[in-house]
Amino acid sequence: MDVEDHTDVVMHDGGILASTELDNADTSPDLSIKTEQNTEARASLAPALRGQGAKREMLDPREDLPRPPKFKHLPYVTAQTGLVYDVRMRFHVETYPAESDIHPEDPRRIHVIFEAFVNAGLAWRKGAEGPPDQYMGRIDARKVTKDEVCLVHTERHWDWIQSLASKSDEELEDELQHPGQYKQMDSVYLSPNTPFCAALSAGGAIEACRALLLGKVKNVFAVIRPPGHHAEREDVKGFCFYDNVSIAAKVCQQEFEHCRKVLVLDWDVHHGNGIQQAHYNDPNVLYISLHVHNDGTFYPELSYRDNRLPYGDRLHCGEGAGLGYNVNIPWRRHGMGDADYIYAFQQIVMPIASEFNPDLVIIAAGFDAAEGDMLGGCFVTPAGYAHMTHMLMSLAQGRVAVCLEGGYNLDSIARSACAVGRTLMGEPPDRLQGLEPVNSAVDDIKKVVRQQSKFWPCLHPKDVSARGPPQGERMHDVVRKWQATTLWDEYEMSPLFVHRESLSKSFDGQVLATSNYMDARPLLVILHDPPEMLASPDPRTGRVELHNTWLTDIVKTYVDWAAKEGFAVIDVNLPKHVTAIDDDQEHEEIDRVEHRTKEATELLSYLWDNYIELNEATHIFLMGTNTGHGAIVNFIKANEARAQRLSKVISFVEDVPLQSCKSATSDTLDGWYYGHSLVFVSDEHAFWSSDFARKIRKRFGRIFKSSAETMSEMLAAHKESVTDALLDETEDWQLTRPASPDEQQQLETELGQKSLPPLGNSALSALGHSNGNLASPGARKARFGMREESDVAEVIATIRRGQKQHWATAALDSVLSGNAAHN
């Protein structure tokens, strides 16, 4: 299909009739309503448009009107699929089109879809094989009436759009720049034909739905433009003038008794702010929108009229009687594909839609999430659209009206619309490939489930915070308290004072240190995430039972190791969320990584200034997990000279950005960092699929690709590498260092027994911990009655090295010979 041949797209009424399309197509815009079958009210709503628009007499009479179903017993399946397409909707064009910069809302959009339908044998045009009733049945579009528009928009809105018809090009340009009370029109262009095309587009949507509810067709595709879902009550916006879909829904609800409940499913890549607004307090229109949101930074970010907050987030659920009937499924990033959309359908759309049980389904069908669309940046394939359509066809006895919204890659929209058209006509959807949703999509979807579970009985698990304020403590505060108690019991670690501007439970005991942190011995500073909790929540209530919850605190094993080796330890807990002093007990998201990293960097600088800089540590090691990693690298970059005191920095990176240590002022910092770092990066980390991974630069440090995925697994898997590295660095000090409490306990036990158990690491660990304080050499000597400190050091070194039992026993014997037994 070569759409570029059709140069008529920016012509006004007269010229278009010479186009290739009209020469050989039957696209007669006969304006009488073929679906007419009802009341006088109907007739008054739909005046014919004699004499306006294209030269109708030049067009062939219609031959492919919708036919009734072939079989009475199978009324739905044997009826035709309807098609609304009117070439005159292409008259809405830019006043001053620039050839180099074609506006994305290109009039050719509807043309390429119609062409694709014809070429695929879905739509009839003169010359096509077989009788017209094998194809989609054509339904005429007509102009929407003022009364119909005012079901959704204000009279002012209608009047303003009508006024455009009589304006000159200059006046239209002016209108765009200075539209009365608002500052500037948001993403629209205007032409004298705009009122006509917009009216035809909305009228087309109405007639599509009416044909469906009148039983003329089994389902219907309205190939209409300009689109509608961004148009608000009194604002044109985002290429949209009238909210086509909402107007059609309201008209049908008024006209048909058997059309009480309408589902509007909006898969346009943008949020349909207009549709949301039109039905926000209406329990009879369920609006479900899947769209890219990017935390509110993707169009439509906010209303230019009253600067409302971004309204496409999942927390906008409707209000009043309509509460729960607005379902936003916002993607936090671009790049979603079939797997993500299908997953959303399976987890949210279909359960809710089935429970709602609509009488009519309208798809606000933008194809800008299609692969190839430049605005959307997503990857939904034609088969993906077909499957979504197919699922929706199970609702409302198959009464599905597809109304075109956005979609700006001509090739993509043609292929996608074709796949939807085939499905409507009864063709089974194509196979899908690779249906594993990406992690962020799973997160996004599960959060919507949690939110909507408040309103929809079918959704589980229920949001526990919806049960009202639980009046409890947040577990991360409880766990930190427990950690502080344990570390005090075992190593007498106590909190270091940290000056704060604000207060929070989460800061209590955030920094714990062994009492010897100022001494001349190695100091290990660990900046870590809170321990991991693994739980299998109750599948229905979401409640977590304590006996089915496991706490994994691998960081603690590093503290254990360091204390045993006689290191001083400063343990810094970096909460993922800081509990507010007046905690509202609601569900809280994890604070943003950037924010947490900044806070952690400030804390590390504070600790350095107040507790690390002035001490006598023989070696300083910094170890960080996730945000701790970012804090350490930031600290080094900001304090190049002071960082030279560091013996080694160790990072574990699971799900935060990998930081490079490149200085703007020094050429040697990255080299230094490479020589002094160990950086373990999770197997699942995005770094490995980035360009950097091909040739890793020094500035990322000494990187190791971990075979583990989670932080706990990584910390466990690489503990030996880390401890070996720390022992290497401190080898000289190890030989002369004072005994650690464990080793003193070991000695004490050894000396109190006649026959000695085997020595070595296993024996040491089997003996357990002790708080016996023998730290001062004098006290220890007196207690064991020893002559020389060096004797004791030798014994300890022997035990520490785990040398042969008989040698160690002999050495102990020799040292202790002549001394009174301890007991």
List active site positions: 230
In the block, residue with structure tokens 């949101």: 293
Q: Are 524 and 726 contacting, i.e. CB atoms less than 8 angstroms apart? A: yes
Nearer to Zn ion, 62 or 103 (CB): 103
Nearer to Zn ion, 299 or 635 (CB): 299
Q: Are 641 and 668 contacting, i.e. CB atoms less than 8 angstroms apart? A: no
Q: What residues from 537 to 556 belong to the interface with Zn ion (CB under 5 A)? A: none
Strand pairing report for 81-85 and 262-266: unpaired
Half-sphere exposure (CA, 13 Å, Cβ side) for 347?
25
Cα 326-331-334 angle, rounded to 5 deg:
145
Pick from 8, 235, 268, 743 the residue near Zn ion by CB under 5 A.
Answer: 268
Half-sphere exposure (CA, 13 Å, Cβ side) for 786?
23
Pick from 8, 26, 368, 748 the residue near Zn ion by CB under 5 A.
Answer: 368
Binding string, residues 398-427; x marks residues near Zn ion by CB under 5 A: --------x---------------------
In the block, residue with structure tokens 């004791």: 792
How many residues touch Zn ion (CB under 5 A)? Answer: 5
Nearer to Zn ion, 303 or 746 (CB): 303
> How near is the Cβ of 297 to Zn ion at its closest, in Å?
15
Q: Does 387 bind Zn ion (CB under 5 A)?
A: no
Task: Single out the residue of 647, 605, 601, 593 nearest to residue 622, CA to CA.
Answer: 647
Q: Which stretch binds Zn ion (CB under 5 A): 263-271, 335-343, 645-653, 699-707?
A: 263-271
> How near is the Cβ of 583 to Zn ion at its closest, in Å?
39
Q: Which stretch binds Zn ion (CB under 5 A): 29-37, 260-268, 301-309, 769-777?
A: 260-268
Query: Distance between CA 796 and CA 737 in Å, rounded?
Result: 9
Q: Which stretch binds Zn ion (CB under 5 A): 253-261, 363-371, 537-545, 681-689?
A: 363-371
Nearer to Zn ion, 8 or 106 (CB): 106
Q: Which stretch binds Zn ion (CB under 5 A): 270-278, 489-497, 523-531, 584-592?
A: 270-278
Pick from 337, 366, 421, 630 the residue near Zn ion by CB under 5 A.
Answer: 366
The burial of 770, by beta-carbon neighbours within 10 Å (0-12 exposed, 13-18 middle, 19 or more buried), is given as: middle
Nearer to Zn ion, 413 or 445 (CB): 413
> How near is the Cβ of 416 to Zn ion at its closest, in Å?
13
Give the number of other Cβ atoms within 10 Å of residue 706's Cβ: 22
One-character DSSP codes across 165-222: GG--HHHHHHHHH--TTSSS-BS----TTHHHHHHHHHHHHHHHHHHHHTTS-SEEEE
Q: Does 106 bind Zn ion (CB under 5 A)?
A: no
One-character DSSP codes across 638-703: H-HHHHTTEEEEEEEESSSPPPP---SS-SSHHHHHHHTEEEEE-TT-GGGGSGGGTS--GGG-SE
> How near is the Cβ of 380 to Zn ion at its closest, in Å?
13
> How near is the Cβ of 407 to Zn ion at its closest, in Å?
7
> How near is the Cβ of 406 to Zn ion at its closest, in Å?
3
Q: How far is CA 232 from the centre of its chain?
A: 26
> How near is the Cβ of 313 to Zn ion at its closest, in Å?
17
Q: Does 270 bind Zn ion (CB under 5 A)?
A: yes
- Residue whose CB is nearest to Zn ion in the complex, by number: 406
Beta bridge partners of 623: 526, 650
> How near is the Cβ of 340 to Zn ion at its closest, in Å?
17
Query: Distance between CA 145 and CA 137 in Å, rounded?
Result: 24
Nearer to Zn ion, 179 or 377 (CB): 377
Q: Which stretch binds Zn ion (CB under 5 A): 54-62, 367-375, 467-475, 813-821?
A: 367-375
In residues, how long is the chain? 823
Q: Which stretch binds Zn ion (CB under 5 A): 192-200, 364-372, 614-622, 694-702?
A: 364-372
User: What is the contact surface with Zn ion in residues (CB under 5 A)?
Assistant: 268, 270, 366, 368, 406
